[in-house]
Structure 1
Amino acid sequence: MDKTDIAALLALGAALFIAVGDVIHQRSAHEVTDEPVSHLGLFTRLLRDRQWWLGSGVSAVGFGLQAAALGLGSVLLVQAILVTSLLFALPINARITGQRVSRFQWTWAALLAAAVVVIVTVGNPTEGVSRASFETWSLVIAVLGPALVVCVVGARIFPGPTGAVLLAMVSGALWGVFAVLTKGVVDRLGDGVTELLRTPELYAWALVAIAGTAWQQSSFRAGALTASLPTMTVTEPVVGSVLGVVILGETLRPGDAGWFTLVIAFAVMVFATVALARGEAATAESASAAGSARADAG
């Protein structure tokens, strides 16, 4: 088994743990308070919620496995496989809520799995460098930073579903950046603690993780999960993959005949991800509504 295969297995493990953490975080974001709160207020309340910390602990295991996968494989490979977290989230969420996974959801799940397999095998993603220069990151900040600010301001101007989508884009983009930074941090682990502490990516990595978590919870609270979750789930791998290609020099090598297949597979992955995320979010919302109704009746 070569290191690419090991990276794929580690990414699958990461997808499982991240799926469990996401399910717990979604429930916490809606159950922690019924009052309207700011982004910072919501985050500070969640920091006092035991259920949220449980989800964070599970997600941390997933991020550890993701980091290990990125140490062995490309961002393109790992991010494609991490999309399968939705396949794990479906039965987990169904078990918690006591609802069955529909045939419609299983169909999209099969299509998503097939699309990921095609992207990984036909696309043949290859690694580039592990770290980018300060000048390269400056360009990324110059382009991505204003776009994220516009999304945050837009979420304030257009609350509700539109705001949830905009905040989800912010969170998804930050987690995409997080994946690229993780590869740089992992690359310095073998150089010792002193060198690691001198690595700028380490501090940017921590800040981006905190910001991504905060905006994620805010997007869940801003509107229906059917608006935020699909956007977030698609934005993260897209941003991460684009940055992997643009700043780390990673490539896809499908061959002349494989590009059409790859485009079709990518389109199927996006549509299947949106369909599954909407289904998962709708189930979570109905379960939350049922729980509130039982509480009111009691």
Structure 2
Amino acid sequence: MTVLSICLALLAALGNAVASVLQRRAAADEKAGRPTPKVSWLFHLLRRPVWLWGAGALALSGACQAAALATGPLAVVQPVMTTELLFTLVVGSVVFRSRPDRRTRWAFVAMAAGLAAFLALASPSGGRSTVPGNRWLVVAASVSALVLVLVVTALRLPSSPRAAVLGTATAIGFSCTAALMKDAIGRLTDGVGALLTAWQTYAALGVGLLSFLLLQATLRAGTLVASQPALTLGDALLSVVLGAVLFDEELALGLRIVPEAAALTVLALGSVQLARSPVVAGQGKEDMW
């Protein structure tokens, strides 16, 4: 089942990357065309097939992520979702006809190798499909307080540190959204009605929306280079913790913790360098953003 969840998570990451690139392509085409009033700009985008294909890819990605969480540990699915950055580079290079330089290609290899090594060493396994309510009380209170502290702290920081701190808060939100989604889907064994009446279903929607808005604030606060390591590692690491705390997932630690830390370092360095690529960052002669 873990192999299936990894494949589904990879498809979800690919869907996110395709959605991002296609919608950026539509936005770039819109800018290149005749000027349109701000009010009707979104309306024009909605009429573009490329943008709609991107929206469809995003919906498919959500379905694949939900299926991945239903079939595998949270500590596996969310780290694998970080491959969105790798897929964005590949898909963006094709769509925008921009060939990555040697440094970017090495960063691609480093990030992929770091992620693979971490998952192989940590070997997340086991776990339950649903979470006892009392565990959510403790986790929700702790996470909410941490996010609030991070947001308040970020308001007093200059651009790059602010982006990094907000990126950490955003990553926490995304990992909690995934945990809530997994808990909600686990109730499908009791029927669709149990899913539709579970508070976790609506909490996942609410936290996901807030996280998306926080992501927009993160991207406005500073460059992707400043926020990407926090976004990438924050989501992956907290998901590993939430998997153990909420779902009783098991990790191989002990003496392996040193090479696991090294693998995460390689992953972080790779993500930083990939974030510098114009294809990923949405910069360059096409003015992708």
- TM-score normalised by L of structure 2: 0.82
* Local SS of the residue matching 1:235: helix
Asked if 1 retains the 8 angstrom alpha-carbon contact of 2:130 and 2:247, the reply is yes
Asked if 2 retains the 8 angstrom alpha-carbon contact of 1:18 and 1:62, the reply is yes
Asked if 2 retains the 8 angstrom alpha-carbon contact of 1:129 and 1:250, the reply is yes
Asked if 2 retains the 8 angstrom alpha-carbon contact of 1:17 and 1:59, the reply is yes
Deviates more, 1:101-110 or 1:218-227: 218-227
Q: Cα deviation per residue 1:62-102 (whole Å; 9 max; x = unaligned)?
A: 12111111111111111222122211111222234432211
Describe the shift of the 1:74–1:155 C-alpha distance in structure 2 as closer, same or farther (beyond 3 A): same
Describe the shift of the 1:239–1:57 C-alpha distance in structure 2 as closer, same or farther (beyond 3 A): farther
User: CA separation in 2, counterparts of 1:285 and 1:230?
Assistant: 19
* Local SS of the residue matching 1:218: helix
CA drift at 1:53: 6.5
- Among 263, 266, 270, the alignment partner of 2:261 is 263
**Structure 1 vs Structure 2 CA RMSD:** 3.1
Describe the shift of the 1:271–1:183 C-alpha distance in structure 2 as closer, same or farther (beyond 3 A): same
Percent identity between matched residues is 29
Q: Cα deviation per residue 1:257-280 (whole Å; 9 max; x = unaligned)?
A: 644433322222222222222335
CA drift at 1:158: 3.4
**Residue ranges of structure 1 left out of the alignment (5+ in a row):** 34-44, 293-298
| Counterpart code for 2:266 | V
Describe the shift of the 1:30–1:127 C-alpha distance in structure 2 as closer, same or farther (beyond 3 A): farther
**Residue ranges of structure 2 left out of the alignment (5+ in a row):** 32-40
- TM-score normalised by L of structure 1: 0.80
Q: Which residue of 1 aligns with 2:5?
A: 7
Q: Which residue of 2 aligns with 1:228?
A: 227
- Among 1, 14, 17, the alignment partner of 1:16 is 14
User: CA separation in 2, counterparts of 1:117 and 1:291?
Assistant: 30
Asked if 1 retains the 8 angstrom alpha-carbon contact of 2:9 and 2:68, the reply is yes
Q: Cα deviation per residue 1:217-244 (whole Å; 9 max; x = unaligned)?
A: 2222232222233322222112212111
Asked if 2 retains the 8 angstrom alpha-carbon contact of 1:165 and 1:231, the reply is yes
Matched, 1:140 2:167: no
| Counterpart code for 1:262 | E
Deviates more, 1:135-144 or 1:151-160: 151-160
Q: Which residue of 1 aligns with 2:34?
A: none
Matched, 1:81 2:80: yes
| Counterpart code for 1:74 | P
CA drift at 1:287: 4.2
Asked if 1 retains the 8 angstrom alpha-carbon contact of 2:27 and 2:45, the reply is no
Deviates more, 1:199-208 or 1:276-285: 276-285
Q: Which residue of 2 aligns with 1:40?
A: none
Asked if 1 retains the 8 angstrom alpha-carbon contact of 2:160 and 2:226, the reply is yes
| Counterpart code for 2:139 | V
User: CA separation in 1, counterparts of 2:44 and 2:224?
Assistant: 22
CA drift at 1:210: 0.9
User: CA separation in 2, counterparts of 1:26 and 1:126?
Assistant: 37
- Among 262, 274, 277, the alignment partner of 1:276 is 274
| Counterpart code for 2:110 | L
Asked if 2 retains the 8 angstrom alpha-carbon contact of 1:229 and 1:278, the reply is no
Asked if 2 retains the 8 angstrom alpha-carbon contact of 1:108 and 1:275, the reply is yes
| Counterpart code for 2:164 | V
User: CA separation in 1, counterparts of 2:22 and 2:137?
Assistant: 35
User: CA separation in 2, counterparts of 1:46 and 1:171?
Assistant: 25
